[in-house]
Chain A
Amino acid sequence: MYGTEGGIDMALEFQSHIPILRPSIHARRANLTVKFQDLYGFTVEGNVDDVNVLNEVREKVRQQGRVWWALEASKGANWYLQTQISSTLKSSLTFSALGNAVTLKKLIRKGIPPVLRPKVWFSLSGAAKKKSTVPETYYNDLTKAVEGKVTPATLQIDHDLPRTFPGHPWLDTPEGHAALRRVLVVYSFRDSDVGYCQGLNYVAALLLLVMKTEEDAFWMLAVLLENVLVNDCYTNNLSGCHVEQRVFKDLLVKKCPRIAAHLEALEFDVSLVATEWFLCLFSKSLPSETTLRVWDVLFYEGATVLFHVALAIFKMKEEELLTAHHVGDVINILQKTTHQLFDPDELLTVAFDKIGSMTTTTISKQRKKQEPAVMAELDERLRRLNSLRADNK
């Protein structure tokens, strides 16, 4: 079975035998930087406070687990699935289903326990439904069919495998590389417009760690690119990504006007940092559990959460950013902040309570508004490059 078992074991390992870290008294006194493993096996660097925060996060994760188990016990194992069906069929909406939907949204914003993530993500994101529309053997058949094929996408994937979270105890092993390779290669054949786009390596790698099987990771990647995110984020000159960046800049002006004005004065284009956030869905910037907490909401509520989180990162550091005089200072503040956000609630509280609501409809309108400008800009650049080529040959 394509060696998925290794993935399962490793991922489970991280969740069950996590040693509680007790920083030594020496480390405490000296406020040293220590290296430690986080919930998903990533080695991170931080000071003693960060280690403590991470231990608290582990405890909160356990508490959340108890809440979820209690709900399953009282409402039935798949209670959260009913909320979805009934919330789309408004006529048959029952009080209990409505209650469940409200509970579920709140619950998800507080975090899905890592052990339940595979199951909950798979159903709520629409991945299960997507998978059910094709034969059972779809993934395995496609895997076999594309074996040994060499395309520009496969070459690029091979180039990136060792450069995707190097040093991770499972991802950076021959087994991990092989699993990640199959997910990305198979997807590149499923959608030849996307093929393979750099950035997806990080996204698929985290999906593998969470979902524990290649096949489920593959379907999560499919639902993400085909339903959850805005179209063309990874294709066609990354036009979807350009659109999101413009929408984000407008939102920053609206939601954080002082920061926006200050950065504008420094000639700092926020896309210099935010592009990577959106393309990698924060997986390269935020600690793993914090990233996955964002993804919990992403898979249930949709891509609007990415704006909430990006705005929150700026908002949290408003005062500090306003004293920055150089582009380099701004980048250092943002990088340091994102790398140290070990407590997901710290970020998500700001993201939802301090940023204010943004409906999916409003965001969709903003996107529609920006699309023509992005297309014009990209076309213009292509035309210019082609004319350059013609001049010189």
Chain B
Amino acid sequence: MATMGHNNLNAKLVLLGDMGAGKSSLVLRFVKGQFLEFQESTIGAAFFSQTLAVDDATVKFEIWDTAGQERYHSLAPMYYRGAAAAIIVYDITSTDSFTRAKKWVQELQKQGNPNMVMALAGNKADLEDKRKVTAEEARVYAEENSLFFVETSAKTAANVNDVFYEIAKRLPRAQPAQNPAGMVLVDRPAEGSRTASCCS
């Protein structure tokens, strides 16, 4: 429950990246603490929500886990439009997936919300012996593009929650009289108005 002086944020977060990089696995790990080999394939994107408490705020993530072949990328703008945060995922055992990740970063830089908090996640870090993308290379790229970078493993859970926590910390806090795109200030009384005509 929101208390006085406490920020309650809703933040839209989108996961983008090559097919098979581990987007769904990261979300499943974060939301349910599980790891599965087979999941029903998603058409377009799957929605999840999860709340995190960080320092001064409670952040409720509205997560869009995008999916699909190349042709589905034409749907991506609908998922990243108005997003407060994005996690761009690649697979450290695939250079193609890293190239793909860079393209997503560029698309978001040009088209996304300018205040978007972006994280680059090098997933499958447990597969060290199959590594094709060095952490150094990714770190340099991330620094150049002001992204938050971390290597993760949805399988072992390494760093998975950390990505979401770090994003939650970096989200711009809602300021009075300002409501940045993708952030909905919900610091209203719990018994707040339930009228049908809602205004934004």
Q: Which A residues contact B (CB, under 8 angstroms)?
A: 156, 160, 162-166, 197-199, 201-202, 234-239, 242, 258, 262, 265-267, 269, 271-272, 275-276, 279-280, 284, 322-323, 325-328, 331, 378, 381, 384-385, 388-389, 392
Contact = CB atoms under 8 A, between A and B. Distances in A.
13 contacts: A156-B69, A163-B38, A163-B40, A202-B43, A238-B75, A262-B197, A265-B198, A280-B43, A284-B43, A323-B196, A328-B62, A384-B107, A392-B102
A160 B103 contact: no
Contacts of B106: 388, 392
Contact of A272 (B40, B69, B72, B78): B78
Interface of B: 10, 12, 38-41, 43-45, 47, 49, 60, 62, 64, 68-69, 71-72, 74-75, 77-79, 81-82, 102-103, 106-107, 110-111, 184, 186, 194, 196-200
B72 A262 contact: no
A95 B186 CA distance: 64
Contacts of A266: 198, 200
Contacts of A384: 107, 110-111
Contacts of A385: 103, 107
Contacts of A202: 43
B74 A378 contact: yes
Contacts, number: 97
Given A262-B198, A265-B199, 9 more contacts: A198-B68, A198-B72, A242-B74, A265-B200, A266-B200, A328-B47, A328-B60, A378-B74, A385-B103
Can you list the 7 inter-chain pairs with the closest CB atoms, starting with the nearest? A163-B41, A237-B74, A322-B196, A328-B49, A388-B106, A276-B43, A275-B44
Contact of B79 (A198, A272, A323): A272
B125 to A, nearest CB: 23
Contact of A388 (B64, B72, B107): B107
Contacts of A199: 43
Given A237-B71, A267-B200, A388-B110, A164 B44 contact: no
Contact of B39 (A163, A234, A242): A163
B41 A197 contact: no
